[in-house]
Structure 1
Amino acid sequence: MLTGQGERGSIVTENQQTREPVKVFLVDDHALFRAGVRTELDSITDDVRVVGEAGSVAEAVAGIARTKPQVVLLDVHMPDGGGAEVLRRVRPELPDVVFLALSVSDAAEDVIAVIRAGARGYVTKTISSKELVRAVVRVSDGDAVFSPRLAGFVLDAFADRPGSAPISDPDLDLLTPRERDVLRLLARGYAYKEIASELFISVKTVETHVSSVLRKTQLSNRYELSRWASDRRLV
């Protein structure tokens, strides 16, 4: 994961003086991962420069506004709302900032949700350091970048053909990323305690999310929720 090779220098351009380093902001709720990415990028390339980092949605919104990065490397799942919430709060104020999702998840619904929210690309954390640098520079230049198997999800989601995922589902869009996580596991038959263990949250928090989902979907029990989730291919 994020392993570099060779000496520090320009990975993307032959003459680094032809362009300034891309300013990058890291958003991930795991401090050790952020530290590893920062150290790795700082040690192998002059093409990007990490200008800040955050471990929560609130910290990310404030940090991005303060540092004005060109590219934000954005985790998809965080305890207080996740990448889609960061996008929702930042893009109206800073429309020129480009977001590249960097996540452990390769689930189609995660990819589609963050792209709908406005991210320019999506790569998984198995990416090498050099490939990550190339991805950052490419999205800063206006390209869309995806890990190979993820591009198909996006094509399917936005293709006008039978069986493709809908471009917009107003009911599904009401749910936060964490509520979708809880709903997905609930629909798979997980007990509340198992969901809590899987998502590293408390049982009380699971109950709160389920109550919120029931309220938003206007359904009355987990069996109706399971059917609702299955109809939307969340399971």
Structure 2
Amino acid sequence: MPEGDTVFLAGHRLDEALAGKALLRAELRHPRLPSGALSGRSVLGVRTVGKHILMRFSGELSLHSHFRMDGAWHLYRPGQKWQRPAHQVRAIIEVENRIAIGFALHDMELVPTSAESTLVGHLGPDLLGENWSDADLHEAVKRLSADPTRQLGPALLDQRVMAGVGNLYKTEVCFLLGASPWAPVSAVNAVEAVKLSRKLLLANAWAPEQSTTGQRGRGHQHWVFERGGKPCRKCGDRIRVETQGDDYMARISYWCPTCQQ
């Protein structure tokens, strides 16, 4: 599933391409949504909240979408060939000189803009929120610390705690904190965990590829993520791999048994 910074960058690119322009074409290919609901409107802007994208239109209407595992918004010029098959198209938003195509989008909803909170109000503080404050930090820390016995990995992934962390950052934050993903939340400093999560997301918010090591070269971007069986960059021990969580919450975890006791 895409990380919060991936969604953040996609949202900003959509905003730059579409905001302030009248719709020339708007199709919604979703059984719950009327295809012509956006006809005659203009795009006011695009905002992101965690892993959610909210596209706002004139007439007090917002289109909500979520990437989940395989969704994406692509931007094209008129006449440019699409990079994914037409049967995956769920939305076509065209303005002058730009076309936004939503492929395999999930959880699509049309709501009054004033009612966006019904879709994202349950989320914790947005780690990439432009108005991030000490109050957001304290709220995220409070939510993370609410159950000290909870395993750290799933707690970091819980979007109700703080919005934006995916499996990559969960894995890397645990490593940098020196704690196993299976350790209880009480084993780490919650303030440090929240600050580190935000720091890593911010460092990659405007980059197409993520790095947690500070290096961008292929094979050098991550400490342990997707490095199962390879030597730890700090101690040389072999990086372990195991699934953590049940059912839809199950995620592959990577960790160093020496650095993350």
Q: Assess same fold via TM > 0.5.
A: no
Choose between structure 1 and 2: higher helix proportion.
Answer: 1
Provide TM-score, normalisation by structure 2: 0.25
- Which one has the largest radius of gyration? 2
